[in-house]
Amino acid sequence: MEFEVTVARKTDVLVVGGGCAGLAAAICAARHGAKVLLAEAGSCLGGMGTAGLVGPFMTCYDPAGERQVIKGIYDEFVRRMAARKGAIPPEDCHAGDSYCGYRIPGHDHCASFSAESFKAVAEDLCEEAGVELLYGALFLRAVMNEAGDIITGAVFATKMGLIQIDARQVIDCTGDGDVAAASGAPFLYGDDAGLTQPSSLFFTIRGVDKAKLEKLRTETGRSESIFFQKEIMQEMEEGRYHVPRNKVAIYECPDGTFRVNMSRVQMHNGLDPFEVTRATVAARRQIPEIMDLLRRIVPGCEQIELVQTASVLGQRETRRIEGDFVLTGEDLRHSRHFEDDVFIAGNSIDMHGGNSVNYQPAKGAAYGVPYRILLPAKVKNLLVAGRAASMDREALAAIRVMPPVFAMGQAAGTAAAMCIAENTEPAQVDIGTLRDLLRADDVVLE
């Protein structure tokens, strides 16, 4: 049965998905002169950073923690949030402090923020740039040209039925590569056996006695004393704790509440809505057990209360497009740079699996992230920014965090606006001009 589809808008650039990548892409494309529509399935911007309650913003500094290397729209965003007391800027968050989850390697200069401030700043910046927002619009289908290599429109499920948005350039920021997959671009999913990193449902708590918690750190002289790894392993062995994550992971927010990243569920297919629903319910059911554990074993957490659980399960990994170029963990480890770098980063490889994390702290100089990871094969007028860009699992485990994702969005949005102005395709964009525009917009490239 064919459903009736109404063409609701024609736009230059259609951005699908309003997480960090999507909002950055939309704002930057609009600032560079394109008419932009940003379509989002939910009812707020920010994706994982808001509906997912994920935070803090991971580091935007080089591996030595000496130089801020991710700036541009990310930096502007954090400073707008900080001005309304919704964020602690990166220079004021230090390795080992509560804002960085008491973590040291790879965690210098994270930035703590509140999800509510994120939502408000994102909507303000979109409005100021002239981005048209469309909430409650779930992307379903790509409308292709006859040759099947150009997207002419996208169909969304809405309360008004199916609507179509026609566009000249499309940027897939769904995190899951939904548009890329629907338009026939090749993609990969998980490891060789199709297994992905586990998922977690964030929640926030109040009532942490920080002084008591930090006394322990001072007494032992070890930041890791706050992770209670040995105690949790023992609780697991003795059958008192069943959540498959063996470390305390709590991060202070600007308002004194803490986010908790300790639930963990493994899915086979993070795109199957029935499985995602079951996993979300299972993760939410872990929360009382985690709260109980914290109250029992962590000094300073005896009186904690639950504030909120995330409304969306945090999936670390689903689809990755298979572009002509694939950024690898090796590229990051060797601090490689490319002629088409659109930003540089110093984020560590943070690979979750089983009940633990394989964390490889970034070392040496910052590495480059090239424009080509945003280009899917086969579809000529599509860019993919964020979690689904073209990279192997190790590179994904590093640059899936929010500051690099903002930077990917900035590059994609700027390139899409160039395509509109010059009537060209993303793969034909002049890299020198793109890099000049990014540099002028405060992006660090060297």
Ligand X SMILES: Cc1cc2nc3c(=O)[nH]c(=O)nc-3n(C[C@H](O)[C@H](O)[C@H](O)COP(=O)(O)OP(=O)(O)OC[C@H]3O[C@@H](n4cnc5c(N)ncnc54)[C@H](O)[C@@H]3O)c2cc1C
Which residues of this chain interact with ligand X, rule CB under 6 A? Answer: 16-22, 39-42, 47-49, 54-58, 138-139, 173-176, 178, 200, 261, 314-316, 386-387, 400-402, 405
Longest distance between any two alpha carbons in the chain, whole Å:
69
**Which value, to the nearest 10 degrees, does the dihedral of the CA atoms of residues 264, 270, 274, 275 take?**
-40
What is the smallest separation between the CB atom of 317 and ligand X, expressed in angstroms?
8
Spacing of C-alpha 425 from chain mean position? 26
Q: Tell me whether residue 21 or residue 417 sits nearer to ligand X (CB atom).
A: 21
**Regarding beta strands 5-16 and 161-172, do their DSSP bridges make them parallel or antiparallel, or are they unpaired?**
parallel
What's the min distance (Å) between Cβ of 39 and ligand X?
A: 6
Cβ atoms of 181 and 378 within 8 Å: the answer is no
Q: Rounded to whole angstroms, how far apart are CA atoms 147 and 208?
A: 59
Min dist CB 176 to ligand X, Å, is 6
Q: CB of residue 402 vs ligand X: minimum separation in angstroms? A: 3
Q: How near is the Cβ of 238 to ligand X at its closest, in Å?
A: 27
CA distance 402 to 140: 25
Q: Return the closest-CA partner of residue 261 out of 253, 252, 250.
A: 250
Q: CB 23 → ligand X: shortest distance, Å? A: 8
Residue 54 vs 374, nearer CB to ligand X: 54
**Least separation, in Å, of the C-beta of 381 and ligand X?**
18
Q: Specify the residue, 281 or 421, whose C-beta has the smaller distance to ligand X.
A: 281
Shortest reach from residue 156's CB to ligand X, in Å: 7
Residue closer to ligand X, measured from CB, 39 or 366 = 39
Helices 20-31 and 402-422: crossing angle in degrees, nearest 10, is 30
How far apart (Å, rounded) are the C-alpha atoms in residues 45 and 119?
6
Phi first, then psi, for residue 308 (nearest 5°) are -160, 145
Cβ closer to ligand X: 43 or 433?
43
Distance CA(434)–CA(234), nearest Å, equals: 54
Q: Which two tokens stand for residue 378?
A: 């086969």
Quick one: residue 47, left, alpha or beta (phi over 0 = left, psi -120 to 50 = alpha)?
Answer: left
* Whether the Cβ atoms of residue 138 and residue 156 lie closer than 8 Å to each other: yes
By the 8 A CB rule, do 405 and 20 touch? yes
C-alpha 254/C-alpha 130 separation (Å) is: 30
User: Residue 405 Cβ, how far from ligand X at the closest point, in Å?
Assistant: 4
CA–CA separation, 26 and 47 (whole Å): 14
Return all residues near 308 (Cβ < 8 A) that are at least 6 apart. Answer: 53, 203, 204
Measured from the CB atom, the residue of 100 and 444 that comes closer to ligand X is: 100
Q: Which is nearer to ligand X, 16 or 253 (CB)?
A: 16
- Of 185 and 401, the one with the shorter C-beta distance to ligand X is 401
**Nearest residue (CB) to ligand X, 166 versus 215:** 166
- CB of 31 or CB of 264, closer to ligand X: 264
Q: How far is the CB of 174 from ligand X (least distance, A)?
A: 4
Q: Crossing angle of helices 20-31/72-83, nearest 10°?
A: 100
